[in-house]
Amino acid sequence: MTMGQAALDLTLLALADPTRRRVVDLLRERPRRAGEIADAFGASPPAMSRHLKVLRQRGLVEEERSEDDARCRVYRLRPEPFRDLSAWLEEIESFWTDQLDSFKTHAEKRAGGKKR
């Protein structure tokens, strides 16, 4: 079992804040404009802008200019950090899934052999 790298640290750290986790949940649905995100939380634009900055710096979201309106910025999730996190969790889970599969096979073979 091996775990983590610098990228994973940053992902976990950025997600330690409940507001930022909710922003991520919101962006999982689709990319959104900064104003939309602030509205969804009833947060002030400066407060939301700080959260978005952290998410951006930690590489969880990226921003781009809206195609419709160049003054408007749209935020979307970047998949990479989520894959790192997902991979870490899945590694531990699949470690035990494989172990229990192997145990089941062994136990049932032994029991069958003895006609229990």
Partner 1 sequence: MSDAIHVSTRVDVDPDAAFRLFTDEVDSWWRRGPRFRWNLEEDGVVRFEGGEGGRFVEVYDEASGDAFEVGRIEVWDPPKRLVFTFRARAFAPGESTEVEVRFEPAGPAGEATDVTVEHRGWDALREDHPARHALDASAFADMMGVWWADLLTSARQHAATRGEKG
**What residue ranges bind partner 1 (CB under 8 A)?**
1-6, 8-10, 12-13, 15-16, 18, 21, 24-25, 28, 77, 79, 82-90, 92-93, 95-108, 110-111, 116
Task: Give one DSSP letter per residue of 22-63, joined into a string.
Answer: HHHHHHHH--EEHHHHHHHHT--HHHHHHHHHHHHHTTSEEE
* For partner 1, the closer CB: 66 or 102: 102
- Quote the least distance from Cβ 45 to partner 1, whole Å: 26
1: DSSP letter: -
- Which tokens hold the place of 110? 């032994």
* For partner 1, the closer CB: 39 or 93: 93
- Quote the least distance from Cβ 36 to partner 1, whole Å: 19
* For partner 1, the closer CB: 65 or 110: 110
**Distance from C-alpha of 104 to C-alpha of 93, rounded to nearest angstrom:** 16
